[in-house]
């Protein structure tokens, strides 16, 4: 099988259906499967999804008994996957025509790619800047906190987190992608390991890219393909939880990758 697409649902059943349908409508001539994990939504999501796609043989719906978080649920899906390539796809995205075909074709032609992401647009038409990022090093984080990336967007050393000096319309090697759309060979996962389950939500994508780059592979931003991101739908009602998990994720990342070589005062 060419591709396994993993989608995690948490109380976004209608959006998840929209995402799955966009995959069905836009993916052509690829042997693929969609693996959906419901993270204990307890709102009828699992039952509704199971009923809607009960006659679609390449769509598999599973349910967790607890909300295990984004990383763990994706790992569960990956363990069940049969594809040579894995695509992490958010439940609040809409895939545009030929996006997945183009991305899969490109990554197959360039064997040193460890992970590939496409251009991600928000409902406003603006770029979702998380689709091409630098690592949150202490210096990059400081510049971002001080908003130096806005004052000097074209200076690489000062725009290192959002990489605003790189054109959003050009293919580039970057440090990190976003888990809303991450395509990678399963062989890379076998080499560097699954997502780190210490991250509940946020940060797991940056951590994965860090480990992939450390293993010697490139992370590619591929803007010739696009998706729409209806961002934050599963977490918008829990703002405090969202802020807490984001900051917790950054602390986990710092402790794991930078603490031994950096001063915490500059994070």
Give the model confidence (pLDDT) of 97-146 as tens digits: 999 999 999 999 998 999 999 999 999 999 999 999 999 888 887 887 77
- CB of 193 closer than 8 Å to CB of 209: no
Give the model confidence (pLDDT) of 62-107 as tens digits: 999 999 899 999 999 999 999 999 999 999 999 999 999 999 999 9
More confident residue, 67 or 158: 67
pLDDT over 90 at 244, yes or no: no
Phi-psi category of 242—alpha, beta or left, where left has phi over 0 and alpha has psi -120 to 50? Answer: alpha
Residue 114 tokens read as: 């460890």
| pLDDT for the residue numbered 79 | 98
- CB of 172 closer than 8 Å to CB of 184: no
More confident residue, 226 or 249: 226
pLDDT over 70 at 241, yes or no: no
**Mean pLDDT across the chain:** 91
pLDDT over 50 at 266, yes or no: no
pLDDT over 70 at 236, yes or no: no
User: What's the average model confidence in pLDDT over 214-227?
Assistant: 98
More confident residue, 251 or 172: 172
- CB of 118 closer than 8 Å to CB of 89: no
Is 16 exposed, middle or buried (CB count within 10 Å of its CB: 0-12, 13-18, 19+)?
buried
pLDDT over 80 at 253, yes or no: no
Give the model confidence (pLDDT) of 28-56 as tens digits: 999 999 999 999 999 999 999 999 999 99
Q: Name the band, by pLDDT with cuts 50, 70 and 90, for residue 148.
A: confident
Q: Name the band, by pLDDT with cuts 50, 70 and 90, for residue 158.
A: confident
């Amino acid at each position: 099988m060419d591709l396994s697409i993993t989608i995690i649902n948490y109380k976004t059943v209608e959006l998840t259906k929209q995402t799955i349908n966009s995959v069905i409508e836009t993916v052509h001539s690829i042997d693929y499967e969609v693996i959906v994990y419901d993270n204990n939504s307890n709102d009828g999501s699992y039952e509704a999804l199971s009923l809607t796609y009960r006659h679609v043989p390449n769509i598999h719906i599973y349910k967790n008994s607890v909300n295990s978080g984004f990383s763990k649920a994706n790992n569960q899906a990956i363990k069940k996957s049969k594809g040579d390539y894995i695509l992490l796809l958010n439940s609040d995205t809409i895939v545009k025509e030929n996006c997945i075909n183009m991305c899969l074709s490109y990554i197959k032609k360039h064997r040193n790619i460890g992970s590939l992401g496409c251009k991600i647009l928000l409902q406003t038409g603006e770029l979702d800047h998380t689709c091409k990022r630098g690592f949150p090093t202490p210096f990059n984080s400081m510049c971002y906190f001080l908003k130096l990336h806005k004052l000097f967007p074209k200076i690489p050393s000062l725009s290192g987190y959002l990489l605003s000096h790189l054109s959003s319309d050009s293919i580039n090697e970057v440090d990190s992608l976003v888990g809303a759309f991450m395509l990678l060979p399963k062989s890379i996962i076998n080499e560097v390991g699954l997502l780190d389950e210490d991250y509940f939500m946020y940060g797991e994508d940056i951590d994965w890219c860090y480990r992939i780059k450390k293993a010697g592979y490139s992370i590619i931003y591929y803007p010739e393909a696009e998706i729409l991101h209806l961002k934050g739908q599963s977490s918008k009602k829990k703002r405090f939880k969202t802020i807490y998990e984001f900051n917790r994720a950054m602390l986990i990342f710092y402790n794991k990758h930078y603490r031994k070589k950096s001063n915490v005062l500059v994070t």
